[in-house]
Amino acid sequence: MNIKALANLLGGTLQSDDPDAEIVAVNTLQNAREDEASFLASMKYKADLHRSKAGVFLVALDFPEEHSRGKNLIKVADPYLAFAQLQRHFHPATCSSGKRHPTAIINSAALLADDVDVGPYVVIEAGVTIASGSIVCAGSVIEKESSIGHDCMIHARSVISYGSVIGDRVILQSGVVIGSDGFGYAWTGKEHLKIPQTGRVVLENDVEVGANSCIDRGALGDTVIRQGVKLDNQIQIGHNVEVGAYSIMASQVGISGSTKIGAGCQIGGQAGIAGHLNIGDGIKLAAKSGVLGDLDAGGTYAGYPAIHHRTWLKVSALTARLPEIWNQIRKKK
């Protein structure tokens, strides 16, 4: 594909003496060869750009002229988004082909679209439905009465427990567990009595779940992950949690039972949120934060217990200075 066509694909403006130059892949500024495109997500990498051999660069609309000399540029509103689009162009998602490995055990009472791929040693139980275009990789287990939408990618060794509802274009990375029992017991005075967990897990369309993450089924009622939510690796979602549309969580986050998280939230790695809370839409939560109360929509929070991020920055700076401050105070006395 030549860079003129590339510019068209991305809806960008080409600035080049050589619009016919061929591009075969995308790469980093450091590693790109002459037949590869690269991108400048921030001007702080401009030195790397000048050293780069890339055949064309995706840059911002306001990219300064003085850095443009002798380079093929495609100017776009968002170079990082353009990079994503280009990667998707060169690496389209794998398509299903209807290939069924002979060792796949597909219950006769399961209903799979003709073109669904099923890998070796996959187990698909009775009452499961899987729609067109989906791929279930080696060693995964889809328990009874679960449904999977179209164009899903279930990576190797995932477990989807009974009765789960998976939307369209959902991606589960390897080792994911959907529908494990929630952590529910009642104390009898002698022992913890297990409460049967009879709800389900519902993953809406375009959800992605990272490797070895777990989403517990509801105790009563459902655990629901709304449209477009992206969860990183080793995340734990407790029973009856609801995560709002397009929210995103970095790895090792834990959400305790019955908490409701709004739409469009961004939650940093290793953060934890206690149970039965209401977290407003669009909040940002710093990594490692611990949330013990409701959070108002739109705010940015940090710390444990979590407070406004701006306050937390001041608190952190002062806390680190406590020994020095305490010395000052003692001298004054």
Question: Does 315 help bind a copy of itself (rule: CB under 8 A)?
Answer: yes
Letter string b/e over residues 253-278, b meaning 16 or more CB atoms within 10 A of that residue's CB: bbbbbbbbbbbbbebbbebbbbeebe
Contact 36, 24 (CB under 8 A): yes
Name residues whose C-beta falls within 8 Å of residue 66's C-beta, 6 or more positions apart in sequence.
none
d(CA 234, CA 254): 9
Beta-strand ranges (E) seen in 290-331 are 290-291, 300-302, 307-308
What order of strands is seen across the sheet that includes strand 36-39?
A: 13-15, 73-76, 56-60, 36-39, 25-26
The candidate with the shortest Cα–Cα distance to 41, out of 29, 53, 55, is 29
Exactly one of 52, 146, 256, 259 binds a copy of itself (CB under 8 A); that residue is 256
Give residue for tokens 């050589």: 18
Q: Which of residues 179-218 bind a copy of itself (CB under 8 A)?
A: 180-181, 183-188, 191-196, 198, 206, 208, 210-212, 214, 216
Query: Which stretch, 10-18, 67-75, 144-152, 168-176, contacts a copy of itself (CB under 8 A)?
Result: 168-176
Query: Which stretch, 68-76, 108-116, 267-275, 277-285, contacts a copy of itself (CB under 8 A)?
Result: 267-275
Question: Does 177 help bind a copy of itself (rule: CB under 8 A)?
Answer: yes
Q: Which of residues 18-47 bind a copy of itself (CB under 8 A)?
A: 26-28, 31
Exactly one of 19, 46, 53, 254 binds a copy of itself (CB under 8 A); that residue is 254
Q: Is 309 a catalytic residue?
A: no
Q: Give the shortest CB-22-to-a copy of itself separation in angstroms.
A: 19
d(CA 305, CA 292): 6
Question: Does 325 help bind a copy of itself (rule: CB under 8 A)?
Answer: yes
Question: In the complex with a copy of itself, which residue's Cβ is closer, 55 or 175?
Answer: 175
Name residues whose C-beta falls within 8 Å of residue 179's C-beta, 6 or more positions apart in sequence.
143, 146, 159, 160, 161, 162, 163, 164, 200, 201, 215, 216, 217
Question: Does 173 help bind a copy of itself (rule: CB under 8 A)?
Answer: yes
Contact 45, 29 (CB under 8 A): yes
Q: Give the shortest CB-129-to-a copy of itself separation in angstroms.
A: 19
Question: In the complex with a copy of itself, which residue's Cβ is closer, 96 or 256?
Answer: 256
Question: Does 221 help bind a copy of itself (rule: CB under 8 A)?
Answer: yes
> Looking at 239, 276, 308, 309, which residue is catalytic?
239
- Number of residues in contact with a copy of itself, rule: CB under 8 A? 100
Q: Going residue by residue from 61 to 90, which x/- string records binding to a copy of itself, judged by CB under 8 A?
A: -----------------x-xx-xxx-xx-x
Q: Which of residues 93-122 bind a copy of itself (CB under 8 A)?
A: 93, 101, 103, 105, 119-121
d(CA 92, CA 122): 25
> Per the structure block, which two tokens stand in for 327?
């010395």
Q: Which residues are catalytic?
A: 239
